[in-house]
A = this chain, B = another copy of it.
Amino acid sequence: MMLASKPSDAAPAAHDRVYRALRARIMHGEMSPGEALTLRGIGKEFGVSMTPARESVRRLVAEGALSLSSSGRVAAPELTNERIEELAALRALLEVELASRALPRAHMALIDRLQAINMTVAEMVSKRDAVGYIRTNLEFHRTLYLRAQAPAMLAIAETVWLQLGPTMRALYGRLRRTEPPQNHRLIIAALKAGDEPGLRLAVRSDVTHGLRLLAG
């Protein structure tokens, strides 16, 4: 079905390309809560017909990244405070476990990578780049959790990030943070020390820190 003139070009399916693009846009906070999408609009933007646009939208709806109005209109979800609290609790639950599983496998190379990413995070903070901050912050977490060797758990954590995406942008716009991510430093320190309780606490704090402000 898919043709590949060269082994290098992966020739991704149209619906998958659209899905990935929309997913990144949502997860990184490039859509505001309530912002609407149309199938024909998506199709036109990506140069495809309605069919792949529909499939990608359906998939994102299934993952909770988009909300489906009663009459089938799709839009970025506007989360209630209850839902935000619940998603924050889920992040804490899942990511503490992921970090804990990654700890015994975290060698120096990983910690160096995390520190490098963390510098980029700090740079995004100083530049007041909300989208860049969200993206690099998630990259920090994902890099750590990949070491846990728990793909199903990581996938679920990512769908939680996806659901929080549109709200995160609003959140980080609200709180005027100029300080570099202190909790990330605690995470790195706990990793270095092999301190599991400290790591769990640091991850929990980092994950629930901002979200509590918005929801509470």
Contact = CB atoms under 8 A, between A and B. Distances in A.
Contacts of A59: 58-59, 62
A1 B90 CA distance: 36
B156 A163 contact: no
A64 B54 CA distance: 19
16 contacts: A51-B51, A55-B55, A59-B62, A62-B62, A64-B152, A64-B155, A83-B151, A86-B151, A86-B153, A87-B152, A89-B97, A93-B93, A93-B94, A93-B97, A152-B163, A156-B156
A78 interface: no
Protomer copies: 2
A156 B58 contact: no
Given A1-B71, A71-B1, A72-B1, A90 B153 contact: yes
Contacts of A163: 152
A83 B54 CA distance: 30
A63 B62 contact: yes
Given A1-B72, A93-B94, A152 B58 contact: no
A15 B55 CA distance: 12
A164 B163 CA distance: 23
Contacts of A51: 51
Interface string A144-171: 0000001111011001000100000000
A51 B55 CA distance: 10
Nearest to A70: B2
Ranked nearest first, the 5 interchain pairs of A and B with the lowest CB-CB distance are A59-B62, A86-B152, A62-B62, A86-B150, A55-B58
A73 to B, nearest CB: 11
A161 to B, nearest CB: 13
A155 B62 CA distance: 11
Interface in A70-115: 71-72, 83, 86-87, 89-90, 93-94, 97
A15 to B, nearest CB: 8
A125 B84 CA distance: 40
Count chain B CB atoms within 10 A of each CB in A93, A94, A155 and give the residue with the most: A93
